[in-house]
């Protein structure tokens, strides 16, 4: 029978035999550097193509208004009341009733655009922005809202008016530019990492 000390020595010897030779591991990986580069380039190309396929440009038109009253033409003397009224208008401009008016005037079935409003806290300034898949649609929707908002707001804040501080402009550049180069870099690193891991596993499994 083997003594306790002999058994420990044998277990240690088996563990050493089953251990990973780091020098051989690194050598095997470096030996396949060309395949790792090819895998990295393939990953970069795959990420680049996928980014272009998935990319949908968005165009945003923005207008800024001063919320006022029909009596004063500019703003209420009570700025706090004006701010509250601007918040009501904010909900009105994004309401389903307004979307229905947009559809009727533009001859579309549904508003496939993002309508956002923002009221600067403590002021009577309201910003309206419309984001759509094409520039013409974004400018058409925002101008329709500006032309017909009184048809909806009359039932909520009847004596409120929006005085244009900054007119909306036709967006010629997308609001979400595609950064395909950054995606290609991610794909390059991912491809290189996967290939390096693969060759490392093959080296370990190769005795």
Q: Is the dihedral of CA 195, 201, 205, 207 positive or negative?
A: positive
Helices (DSSP H) in the chain: which residue ranges?
4-18, 22-31, 33-54, 79-93, 96-106, 135-153, 180-205
Report the C-alpha gap between 118 and 150 in whole angstroms: 18
Q: What is the pLDDT of residue 5?
A: 63
Q: What is the pLDDT of residue 75?
A: 46
Q: What is the pLDDT of residue 74?
A: 44
In the chain, which residues have pLDDT < 50? Answer: 73-77
Which of 174, 160, 194, 202 is closest to 61 using CA atoms? 174
Q: Which two tokens stand for residue 145?
A: 């809202």
Q: What is the pLDDT of residue 7?
A: 63
Report the C-alpha gap between 205 and 183 in whole angstroms: 33
The sheet carrying 125-132 orders its strands as 114-119, 125-132, 59-69, 160-166
pTM of the model: 0.66
Q: Are 151 and 95 in contact (CB under 8 A)?
A: no
Report the C-alpha gap between 124 and 68 in whole angstroms: 8
Q: Which two tokens stand for residue 186?
A: 């991610």
Q: Are 93 and 117 in contact (CB under 8 A)?
A: yes
Q: Are 64 and 125 in contact (CB under 8 A)?
A: yes
pLDDT in tens, 73-123: 444 445 666 667 777 777 788 788 888 999 999 988 888 888 888 887 777
Report the C-alpha gap between 196 and 190 in whole angstroms: 10
Report the C-alpha gap between 131 and 59 in whole angstroms: 5
Q: Which two tokens stand for residue 13?
A: 């010897």
Give the single-character DSSP code of 1: -
Q: What is the pLDDT of residue 204?
A: 78
């Amino acid at each position: 029978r083997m003594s306790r000390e002999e058994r420990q020595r044998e277990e240690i010897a088996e563990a050493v035999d089953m251990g990973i030779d780091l020098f051989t591991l690194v050598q095997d990986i470096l030996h396949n550097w060309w395949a790792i580069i090819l895998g990295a380039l393939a990953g970069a190309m795959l990420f680049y193509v996928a980014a272009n396929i998935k990319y949908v440009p968005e165009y945003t038109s923005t207008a800024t208004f001063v919320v006022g009253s029909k009596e004063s033409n500019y703003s209420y003397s009570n700025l706090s009341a004006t701010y509250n009224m601007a918040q009501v208008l904010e909900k009105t401009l994004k309401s389903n009733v307004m979307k229905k008016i947009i559809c009727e005037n533009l001859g579309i079935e549904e508003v496939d655009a993002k309508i956002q409003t923002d009221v600067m806290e403590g002021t009577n300034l309201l910003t309206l922005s419309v984001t759509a898949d094409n520039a013409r649609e974004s400018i058409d929707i925002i101008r329709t809202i500006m032309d017909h908002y009184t048809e909806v707001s009359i039932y909520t804040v009847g004596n409120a008016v929006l005085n244009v501080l900054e007119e909306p402009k036709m967006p010629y550049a997308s609001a979400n530019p595609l950064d395909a180069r950054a995606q290609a870099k991610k794909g390059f690193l991912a491809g290189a990492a996967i290939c390096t891991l693969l060759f490392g596993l093959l080296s370990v499994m190769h005795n």
